[in-house]
Structure 1
């Protein structure tokens, strides 16, 4: 709510994403697909990164016996194809409606702008400084933008294949990594992955000490960055290099958190089995 008070509607985006997840868990996947496209992707383009994990979720990779079996199940994954079709079609309909009312300007400001956006102002992304230094070189800006897309694509694909049967944990990792290596990253984006923390807590075998270490590292990384940003913005000191180094440190901290949580991940059904064993004893 505090983040949304600064002028954006990310709480509504998070509501749409969580609603999509809820209806998927309720086996009402058509409703989920409609909300996914009509609301989530329309409000923010980033929820489109969840489509691969949903497609693979319908396959259930745990039952795949080999590459040929995987290809066969992909081809026969009618539910997955229909889900993607409904989501993208409902998204296209909302885009068409908005275009009808607001024309090309509305289309550009809400959607197309993100594909050509190059933010040279300091933000948590380490890409800001290379973009700043090459602000007058369009070709280099395109190259940096493409370079930023590669680790995002790798993260989306890798986590989708590995954790598609646990959508909560999959979407948390996917969003966390996506935001971390995005070419623009601000505090409002953090809520995109923080919404999953209560949902994945039961799937993590982590003690309070380690949890506090991860949380402290996350806040310390931001604090260091904000300290140099304060000196730059309010004191007029030339600390851009230190802000950039702080951005690199924050990226390292985020991936340390991701790796630590992956190492302590236990599927929820294993935790339930442990609880049942304790009850029997």
Structure 2
């Protein structure tokens, strides 16, 4: 914790991306006690913050999208102590952040999946900090993911299909022959930043590295690496125990906790070598 406090006090986030020492700290996992603050720092959320704006957004006239938000928050982390009570403090705070964001970014408004992000942020941060982290995350890391047609996500799903074919041809062939295309499973994985796919400790460790990666307006290489890592640790099971479309999708949308340990997933992800130029080339096709 002391190391992170010193780093945050002394260095702007953009200056630490190439530091092997900081990368090692991130890979070890950020301490729970300051994890949210470190995410804010790594995301450079401070550059978006405008004093008083969040409170102002909360007082604006209701939007039509509020109904969809209210429906969805009931399904966000229903077993977590912060959100299990209907219309309780946690749900009210989640609702407030999402409503404010709908006004802040009217082009995006609200999209399913955003509630999962904000819910996790609220477990680590206070209400306004969670709002500004959401702003930074969507603007810098998930640009185009939450548009009505999910345009960027569709492109990334196609890119992922090519990456999987070159990285793991046998598994790619097995999935394709059974009619399983990446859009069927990476939609859930990417839109919720793996919060519906991976066990809790693994999700937190993935988010640590995700934010350390810095802004990535056109591609998020690390999302691809984690997804390929998940498939690498699952390869034998998928090839030999899932001979049909329904069995494959059942596995991919309900990943077994025991196979998704944080150390195993991150080790597999870090072994994946991807070139940004290759990803950009595939995205432009």
Superposition TM-score, scaled by structure 2 size = 0.28
The two structures have a TM-score, normalised by structure 1, of 0.28
